[in-house]
């Protein structure tokens, strides 16, 4: 024992050994500067998808029965597509896909990059994104930088939730001026096209085998259904329903209903669903491409060398991927009655 | 030789060991470099609000400044000046008139900081509040900056009710009143939460009805709905709602308190009469208490201040109507 104490006494003042070669303040400043450099490096700006209130457990089990009155008023929330251009003087230009004017008129405001427990991007003066800060969408003005995903996009989250998959904030770099000009307009156009569908239905299939196909006319435009139509539009959430057991009385609500739902938002290609149309733990559809009058998502397998895992993504985002044949399609069935 | 003696022998070595260490040349303290370059608005605030009134104005988003349970966002910078001008002219400058506090009245009494927010301050029960209850009275929070319009009676009313409310709290913090005596008057009525208020208050759509003198409150001995929350709120609400209402509106509110509801059942009617009598008693007692406090402790006549405030509000609206 005594020898040990003596031994420690002798090494006590050896050279300065630090776990880090820089002070915490320096490391803070470096991470702030790095994120700012990353953001301002995109000269044509970023396409930002922001879903502030997602729920991956809501209407995500296609074999679970949904009670007749179990979905009205319980829809989740969707999101929006923004274009953002960050400048070195801590200002940014922003466009949003709320309506035609916000999609084409950039609004300039200030941002700041700071650091608490994470490097944090804050929108410090008012801009389009703050329209989602309300008791419905519960958006936040401070986004915490989490790093890059497998596609090299910047991923953020907020301090509002501890659980994973409660929000979705991803920055994708835009590569040319045309994208800066058109992205939010196209996103708005695609979203409005989906919203204008009278009776959208979803089918998930591989070849001739159908895994899921919705058939209930959810958007029926009658007085008693007005509140649901309003809910879909305000919350930007869609639930595709299938009558597992039909009612023998024609025109009456089905006896057993199942369904798949997700918040939606427009993108330049078509639609994006977050937390996704989740058929099962592997088969999940997020990004849909608009093909004529339909929205289509075909899953392909992509290998991620960093995580050493294969993942399923939409073909239009990764044309090089290995085909799986899994396809989800959304089309307008029309008012058949 | 035991351990103690070894340590005693080596102790002098320990003391010298680190003497030659030099301090690290790099500071561990954040340099806190300002990221935003001051804008024209920042300079205007510095010249017109910070220097003369000693108030820091925060209109850029600071997450930690808002610890409340409401969803608020930063304001549109283009509206900030208009709001601050109205606050300066219709609250601070009136208090510092010769007839009232005098030129030196505001020294040390203005709030230290004003936070500005774009939207409404709606709490978890759906009730819009005039202040941020998690702040101390030395900090003032102003909401609804985005849709402020100096020529709109309702928007100006909502702003001034909030500002006078918070400034009354600030004054009561610096120049104390007898809290025990005041809270005894309506002690049994305070709710402490907005939950029971949500239903009756949400009938009102216009700002003047929402924040104004309300029948529901008058019949229970209060001036306004927000006064139900606590004795401190009640006190600030009496000052604030008085300063934003004409003397006739206040006396009408007292008449409302005095007038019992009508019922054909004599027993119920008797109960109503009793309630009205009690409400009237409480309301008048509180009014007198606040007037006395203003007169004795601040040397300001509340009724005269009310007339001055209402006149300036009306003039202000006229000026900005063109």
Closest to B242 (Cα-Cα) out of B231, B251, B255? B251
Instruction: Report whether pLDDT(A256) > 90.
Output: yes
A22: Cα within 13 Å, side-chain hemisphere: 9
Which residues, 6 or more positions from A209, have their beta carbon under 8 angstroms from its beta carbon? none
One DSSP character per residue, A71-91 reads STT------EEEEEEE-TTSE
The number of beta carbons lying within 10 Å of the beta carbon of residue B64 is 7
Q: What is the spatial distance between Cα A274 and Cα A261, in angstroms, rounded to a whole number?
A: 9
The reported pLDDT for the residue numbered B134 is 87
Instruction: Return the percentage of chain B with pLDDT > 90, whole number.
Output: 71
Per-residue pLDDT band at B18 (split at 50, 70, 90)? low
Q: Is the dihedral of CA B177, B181, B186, B191 positive or negative?
A: positive
* Residues on chain B touching A121 (C-beta within 8 angstroms): none
Contact state of B35 with A141 under an 8 Å Cβ cutoff = no
B7, B25, B30: which to substitute to probe chain A, counting the most A Cβ within 10 Å?
B30
pLDDT for res A102? 96
Per-residue pLDDT tens over the stretch B257-271 = 999 999 999 999 999
- Residue ranges per domain, chain B? 41-321
Q: B279: number of CA atoms within 13 Å, CB side? A: 25
- Dihedral of the alpha carbons of B198, B199, B203, B207, in degrees to the nearest 10: -10
Residues in chain B: 322
More confident residue, B67 or B194: B194
A138 touches chain B (CB under 8 A): yes
B 197-216 residues inside an 8 A Cβ radius of A: none
pLDDT, tens digit (0-9, with 9 covering 90-100), for B175-214: 999 999 999 999 999 998 989 998 888 888 888 889 999 9
Q: Are B146 and B121 in contact (CB under 8 A)?
A: no
What residues contact B252, with CB distance under 8 A and at least 6 apart?
B213
Query: How many whole angstroms separate alpha carbon B236 and alpha carbon B227?
Result: 8
Sheet architecture: strand order including B113-116 = B56-58, B113-116, B139-142
Cis amide bond preceding B232, omega within 30: no
User: Is any Cβ of chain A less than 8 angstroms from the Cβ of B4?
Assistant: no
Class of the CATH-defined domain B41-321 = alpha beta
Read off the pLDDT band of A101 (50, 70, 90): very high
Cα–Cα distance between B305 and B312 in angstroms, integer?
11
Answer whether B28 touches A (CB < 8 Å): yes
Q: Which two tokens stand for residue A34?
A: 């790095």
Confidence band for A9, pLDDT divided at 50, 70 and 90? low
Residues in A closer than 8 angstroms to B14, CB to CB, are 9, 12
pLDDT by residue (tens digit) across A29-70?
899 999 999 999 999 999 999 999 999 999 999 999 999 888
The verdict on B3 touching A (C-beta cutoff 8 Å) is: yes
Neighbours of B203 (CB within 10 A): 10
Question: For an interface test with B, which of A20, A28, A107, A130 has the most B Cβ atoms less than 10 Å from its Cβ?
Answer: A130
Residue A77 half-sphere exposure toward CB, CA atoms < 13 A: 18
Q: Does A90 touch chain B (CB under 8 A)?
A: yes
**A142-148 vs A256-266, strand pairing mode:** unpaired
B143's CB contacts (< 8 A; 6+ apart) are B72, B117, B118, B119, B120, B121, B162
For testing contact with chain A, the best of B6, B10, B34, B60 (most A CBs within 10 A):
B60
Report the mean per-residue pLDDT for chain B: 89
Whether residues B63 and A141 touch (CB distance < 8 A) is answered with: yes
Q: What is the CA radius of gyration of chain B?
A: 26
Nearest CA among A59, A64, A80 for reference residue A240: A59
How far apart CA A143 and CA A158 sit, in angstroms, is 5
Q: What sign does the dihedral B77-B83-B88-B92 (CA atoms) show?
A: negative
In the prediction, which pLDDT does B3 show? 73
ipTM surpasses cut 0.85: no
In contact, A267 and A88? CB cutoff 8 Å: no
Interhelix angle B77-87/B153-174, rounded to 10 degrees, is 60
Rounded to a whole number of angstroms, the CA Rg of chain A reads 24
Closest Cβ opposite residue A23 in set B13, B26, B35: B26
Q: pLDDT at position B111, please? A: 95
Cα–Cα–Cα angle for A183, A185, A191, rounded to 5 degrees? 100
Instruction: Report how far residue A64's alpha carbon sits from residue B311's, in angstroms, rounded to the nearest whole number.
Output: 65
What is the token pair recorded at A282?
A: 């592997």
Rounded to 10°, the helix B231-243/B153-174 angle is: 130
More confident residue, B12 or B292: B292
Beta pairing class for A142-148 and A119-123: antiparallel
């Amino acid at each position: 024992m005594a020898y040990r104490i003596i031994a420690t006494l002798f090494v006590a003042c050896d050279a300065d050994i630090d776990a880090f070669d820089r002070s915490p303040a320096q490391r803070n400043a470096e991470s702030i500067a790095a994120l700012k450099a990353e953001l301002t490096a995109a000269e044509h700006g970023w396409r930002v998808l922001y879903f502030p209130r997602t729920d991956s457990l809501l209407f995500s089990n296609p074999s679970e029965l949904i009670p007749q009155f179990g979905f009205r008023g319980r829809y989740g929330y969707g999101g929006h597509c923004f274009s953002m251009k960050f400048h070195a003087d801590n200002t940014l230009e922003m466009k949003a896909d709320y309506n035609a004017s916000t999609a084409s008129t950039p609004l300039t405001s200030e941002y700041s990059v700071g650091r608490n427990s994470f490097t944090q991007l804050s929108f410090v003066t008012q801009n389009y994104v703050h329209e989602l800060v309300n008791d419905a969408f519960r958006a936040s003005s401070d986004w915490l930088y989490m790093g890059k995903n497998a596609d090299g996009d910047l991923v953020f989250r907020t301090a509002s939730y501890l659980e994973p998959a409660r929000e979705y904030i991803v920055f994708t770099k835009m590569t040319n001026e045309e994208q800066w000009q058109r992205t939010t307009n196209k996103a708005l156009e695609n979203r409005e096209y989906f919203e204008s569908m009278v009776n959208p239905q979803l089918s998930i299939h591989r070849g001739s085998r159908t895994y899921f196909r919705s058939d209930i006319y959810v958007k029926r435009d009658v007085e008693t259904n007005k509140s649901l139509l309003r809910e879909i539009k305000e919350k930007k959430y869609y639930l595709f329903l299938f009558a597992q057991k039909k009612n023998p009385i024609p025109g009456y609500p089905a006896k057993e209903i199942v369904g798949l739902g997700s918040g939606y938002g427009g993108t330049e290609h078509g639609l994006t669903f977050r937390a996704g149309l989740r058929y099962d733990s592997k088969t999940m559809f997020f990004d849909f491409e608009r093909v004529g009058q339909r929205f289509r998502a075909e899953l392909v397998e992509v290998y991620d060398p960093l995580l050493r895992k294969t993942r399923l993504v939409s073909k239009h985002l990764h044309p090089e991927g290995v085909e799986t044949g899994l396809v989800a399609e959304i089309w307008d069935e029309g008012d058949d009655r | 030789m035991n351990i103690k003696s070894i340590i005693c022998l080596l102790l002098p070595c320990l003391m010298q060991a680190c003497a030659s260490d030099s301090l690290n040349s790099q500071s561990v303290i954040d340099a806190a470099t300002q990221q935003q370059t001051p804008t024209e608005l920042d300079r205007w605030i510095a010249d017109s609000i910070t220097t003369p009134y000693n108030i820091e104005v925060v209109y850029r988003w600071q997450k930690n400044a808002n610890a409340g349970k409401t969803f608020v966002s930063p304001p549109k910078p283009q509206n900030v000046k208009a709001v601050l001008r109205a606050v300066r002219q219709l609250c601070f400058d009136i208090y510092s008139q010769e007839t009232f506090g005098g030129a030196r009245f505001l020294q040390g009494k203005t709030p230290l900081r004003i936070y500005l927010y774009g939207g409404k301050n709606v709490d978890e029960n759906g009730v819009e509040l005039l202040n941020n209850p998690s702040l101390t009275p030395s900090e003032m929070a102003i909401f609804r900056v985005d849709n402020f319009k100096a020529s709109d009676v309702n928007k100006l009313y909502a702003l001034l009710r909030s500002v006078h409310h918070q400034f009354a709290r600030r004054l009561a913090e610096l120049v104390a009143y007898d809290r025990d005596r005041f809270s005894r008057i309506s002690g049994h009525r305070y709710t402490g939460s907005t939950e029971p208020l949500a239903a009756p208050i949400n009938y009102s759509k216009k700002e003047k009805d929402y924040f104004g003198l309300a029948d529901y409150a008058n019949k229970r001995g209060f001036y306004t709905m927000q006064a139900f929350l606590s004795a401190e709120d009640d006190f600030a609400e009496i000052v604030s709602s008085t300063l934003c209402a004409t003397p006739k509106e206040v006396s009408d509110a007292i008449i409302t308190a005095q007038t019992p509801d009508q019922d054909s059942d004599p027993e119920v009617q008797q109960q109503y009469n009793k309630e009205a009598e009690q409400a009237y008693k409480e309301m008048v007692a509180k009014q007198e208490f606040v007037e006395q406090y203003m007169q004795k402790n601040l040397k300001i006549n509340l009724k005269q201040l009310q007339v001055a405030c209402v006149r300036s509000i009306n003039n202000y609206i006229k000026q900005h109507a063109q």
